[in-house]
Chain A
Amino acid sequence: MSRSHLVLRALLVLSSLGLVGLVYAAGGGTLLLAVPLVLLTAWVVTRPESVLVTLLLVGHAIHWVTSAPVPQGWVGWTWLLLGSWLVLLLHLSASAAVTWPSVAPVPRAALRRWGRRAGVVALATVPVWAVAAVTRDQSLQGEASMTYVALAGLTLLGGALYLVARQSPLTRR
């Protein structure tokens, strides 16, 4: 395995372990979920093409939501922002590990491109995080019915995107 692929796999492990650690730092964490997640990380790092990467990501999300309290104050929200960046890092390192042959070094130009785009996505996450933090701290009153309407709209939007993707002439074959 090339050195660049070893680095990618190391990033995958570090991001996954970092997520576990962040949950504990945010005041949550349970061994019942943390241990399987660490074991799953060990498996996933050898098989980044595996569907278990999805399970790992979802497992981290469940671990966070079920064990950590809702963020209070800027420290808690900062942990959450770091967590979202680690989720991004985990996903991208797993994706990059299967994009090129593992025995061949990854071209530097490609690494720079991936890094630049990952930075853009990470920055684009900040407004969502900020809005979430602000609205949560201000305890805005909402309409439950409007929430469901928004959810339905989001679902419809997702469904429409899926259908457009299916009907695309290139993905139809």
Chain B
Amino acid sequence: MTAPAQPAEELAPVRASWQPTPAHTRATVAGFAMVVFGVLVRRPELLVLGTPLFLVSLWSFVTRPDRDPVVAAGPRHLTLREGQGTRWVAQVQPGPGVEDVGLALMGTPHTDFEPAARAVSAASDGVGPVTAAVACRSNRWGRRQLGPAVLSVSGAFGGYRWAPDVVDSRPVTTVPLPDTFSARVPVPRPDGLVGQNRSHHAGDGGEFADIRQFRFGDRLRRVHWPVSIRTGQLHVTSTYADQDSEVVLLVDAMHDIGTSEGAGGRSSSLDNAVRAAGAIAEHYLRTGDRVGLRVLGARGVPALDSAAGKNHLRRVLDTLARTTASKGTVADEKRLRGQLRHRVGTGALVVVLTPAISSEVLGHALALSRRGIPVIVIDTLPSELASPDLDAHLLDTVMPEADKHPQASLLAWRMRLLEREHEMRRAREAGVPIVPWSGPGTLDIVLRDLGRRSRAPRVVSR
């Protein structure tokens, strides 16, 4: 799948200068030396052997380019979706000396190239621009630079070469391809302006609330005539207001557990979290709700305040694409503590996407729940890793030193899973629902429970 093409003018210009090549120097030095010595020592063999080299050198020199070529290079698209492809293109305008073009790209993680060797050659026909292109397909969300590339333009007999050191390009953002997600149950306590969720307040809406006596300001079309005739007093039908809600997504990037094979392959915990967050954001933004995003533990990823609309979906996906897993340093933990001090609006639904390895994040979910904020935790740990009996290959993906100490690593992973179970049980007992990510309907049951619970009297700590 290739994204639609954009004009080549967006490619960045590349600058360098023509230089004689070692091959030209070789032909000049060896040819000249053979001819001269052949004449000097009166050996016609040297003269004849050196003549072709001398002629090649002369040819290259006479046809040497007198101005730099116009070259533009870079990826055709700077934003892709997972699984989408683009082309890394070098376009050389025809000019003196422009005959042969070679392009080679360095490897990029989570990217497939066509040709697989990541190198192409092209020849000028002397009329149109020469285009050398390598097709690239991004398999995983993220922000990566394709390349850098090595580019060379050569003249006659490879005598002169125009070659910049390396051609860097702007990083390409691959936004996550959101999983399929839908939720039929509305958010528990919508508290916005106009939306599609039934609020607890009476107002203009589609859902029946009750039949009550007419008050000043009620619309005549709301009059319920059967009851009005039976009772002798005007009665109207009242409805619940339809309001939008706020969904705050908290993505736990403190750990990335498991192997990431890109779109269609195995997913790590951070893959699951990012794709699930994208899916949830897409669903709620399309239904007119407001979505906010915070990536916990990641450096350089801005927090997104809640907003609505298609442009905001683009912002959410771009922000998710910039997510990188924390390195677990002290600075990262300090940053996490700062990120956990955020504001949550009244009536907002908080969705925490975490592999539940970091106790701080689960503790934060618990604290929010105690404040009376509806919180749902989505467990993003890949299901195959949630087993205490991992085989050596899987153990290697969760414990870095597993190949050196397999028994100790397995034991450590079991202990970590026990702690995780304990913390999750504690959270559940405190009223925080934890569900594994399973695509459509993941949140339906817990949202229904949260809706019931929100209508019941409760004690909250503020």
Report A's interface with B, CB cutoff 8 A.
2, 49, 51, 53-54, 57-58, 60-61, 64-65, 68, 70-71, 80-81, 83-85, 87-88, 91-92, 94-96, 98-107, 109-110, 113-114, 117, 121-122, 124-125, 128-129, 132-133, 135-136, 147, 150-151, 154-155, 158, 161, 165, 168-171, 173
Contact = CB atoms under 8 A, between A and B. Distances in A.
B394 interface: no
Contacts of B21: 95, 98
B335 to A, nearest CB: 43
A80 B17 contact: no
Interface string B23-64: 101110110111110011011111111111101100101001
A107 B123 contact: yes
B52 A84 contact: yes
Contact of A99 (B32, B66, B102, B150): B102
Given A65-B45, A154-B39, A168-B64, 6 more contacts: A57-B53, A60-B49, A70-B43, A83-B45, A125-B48, A170-B64
A115 B389 CA distance: 65
B99 A113 contact: yes
A139 to B, nearest CB: 11
Contacts of A124: 51-52, 55
B16 to A, nearest CB: 9
A83 B36 CA distance: 18
Interface stretch (B3-11, B112-120, B344-352): B112-120
A13 to B, nearest CB: 18
A41 B257 CA distance: 52
Given A95-B23, A96-B158, A109-B125, A122 B52 contact: yes
A151 B56 contact: no
Contacts of A132: 44, 47-48
A155 B152 CA distance: 33
A170 B26 contact: no
Contacts of A60: 49
Given A87-B52, A104-B117, A125-B48, A173 B104 contact: no
A104 B102 contact: yes
Contacts of B40: 147, 151
B122 interface: yes
B86 interface: no
Contact of A104 (B19, B59, B115): B115
Interface string B196-229: 0000000000000000000000000000000000
Contact of B119 (A101, A107, A117, A170): A101
Contacts of B45: 64-65, 68, 70-71, 80, 83
Contacts of A49: 22
A142 to B, nearest CB: 9
A87 to B, nearest CB: 5
B120 A101 contact: yes
B61 A161 contact: yes
A92 B56 contact: yes
Nearest to B116: A103
Interface size, B (range)? 35 or more
Contacts of B19: 171
12 contacts: A51-B26, A64-B49, A70-B43, A91-B53, A101-B103, A101-B104, A114-B157, A121-B52, A122-B52, A151-B39, A154-B36, A169-B66
Nearest to A94: B23
B35 A103 contact: no
Given A70-B43, A151-B39, A173-B17, A57 B26 contact: yes
B121 A84 contact: no
A54 B30 contact: yes
Contact of A58 (B27, B30, B59, B125): B30
Contacts of B22: 49, 51, 98
A170 B53 contact: no
Interface in B135-185: 150, 152, 154, 156-158, 160-161
Contacts of A125: 48, 51-52, 55
A6 to B, nearest CB: 14
Nearest to B16: A173
B401 interface: no
> Which 9 pairs show the lowest CB-CB distances between chains A and B?
A101-B119, A103-B117, A110-B123, A88-B52, A95-B23, A132-B44, A107-B123, A100-B121, A99-B158
Contacts of A169: 66
B103 to A, nearest CB: 7
A53 B26 contact: yes
B53 A87 contact: yes
B65 interface: yes
A69 B334 CA distance: 84
A117 B156 contact: yes
Contacts of A104: 102, 104, 115, 117, 119-121
A106 B100 CA distance: 10
A88 B53 contact: yes
B99 A128 contact: no
A135 B42 CA distance: 11
